[in-house]
Amino acid sequence: MSVSDEHALEQLLRQITVARVRGDWMTARKFAEEAIKRAPERADLHELLGDILRQLGDKEGALACYQRARDLEPERPSAEEKFAATLLELQSFEVPDDAAPAFPKNPTVAATLSAVLPGTGQLYNEQWLKGILFCLGTLAPVGAFLQLYKSLLRSPQPFFSPSNEQIVLTGVLGIVALAMWAWNIWDAYQTAHAFGQLLRPRQGGQTSS
């Protein structure tokens, strides 16, 4: 990339930042797409466009951007986490009549299972794909957090050294892991409750008949 192209790209990134601060997501999208045209192999730009599309409600488009970022930089944890979170957001609590299990599910049991091991509450609810995604999406940041935490303990630098950027990343991963774990418990409970609401009128109709 030439010096002029790098300068133009930096200018676009500044314009994207300004547009995002103003909440002008359509303008931010336009600049992000232009930036990708100039540097299509930069994973961070695809991830940035994914963030913008997510704000615009285009979750399918955001998912494609995060996937592209993962392809370009497989060891990019932020793109991996956003990909998993967006994929889970596409799963709705709207339950079609033919999608509910034959027997009601206990929300407390579902939540307890997910609290013990992420994803098992969804498996209990017979949501196999969602269970696998929650398991991977939660355990991945947990594993990364534990690995970084162990490396910090072995570091010769003082643990609370302001110059140690790993501390910030470890904290972020810890927050993400806790958020995913809590979300997986809430999802299992709410889905089991939704199944119960759907099955109740069915069972009532069968009893009356």
> What does the pLDDT profile of the chain (209 residues) look like in tens digits?
576 778 889 999 999 999 999 999 999 999 999 999 999 999 999 999 999 999 999 989 999 999 999 999 988 889 888 888 888 777 654 444 444 555 678 999 999 999 999 999 999 988 888 899 999 999 999 998 888 888 777 766 555 554 567 778 888 889 999 999 999 999 999 888 877 766 554 444 444 44
Indicate whether 93 belongs to any domain.
no
Task: Say how far apart CA 40 and CA 29 lie, in whole Å.
Answer: 15
Q: How many domains does the chain have?
A: 2
Task: Say how far apart CA 170 and CA 146 lie, in whole Å.
Answer: 8
Query: Both 70 and 137 in a single domain?
Result: no
Query: Both 160 and 113 in a single domain?
Result: yes
Token output for 149: 């935490």
Token output for 113: 């299972």
Token output for 127: 């949501």
Indicate whether 141 belongs to any domain.
yes
Round to the nearest angstrom and report the end-to-end CA distance of the chain. 74
pTM to 2 decimals?
0.48
Q: Which domain holds residue 143?
A: 107-200
Query: Both 73 and 120 in a single domain?
Result: no
At 205 the pLDDT is 46
End residue of a domain, out of 25, 59, 79: 79
Question: In the chain, count of helices (H) and strands (E)?
Answer: 9, 0
Helix (H) or strand (E) holding 142: helix 128-154
At 157 the pLDDT is 57
Helix (H) or strand (E) holding 73: none
Angle in degrees, 0-180, between the axes of helices 77-89 and 43-55, rounded to the nearest 10 = 30
At 202 the pLDDT is 47
Indicate whether 149 belongs to any domain.
yes
CATH number where 42 lies: 1.25.40.10
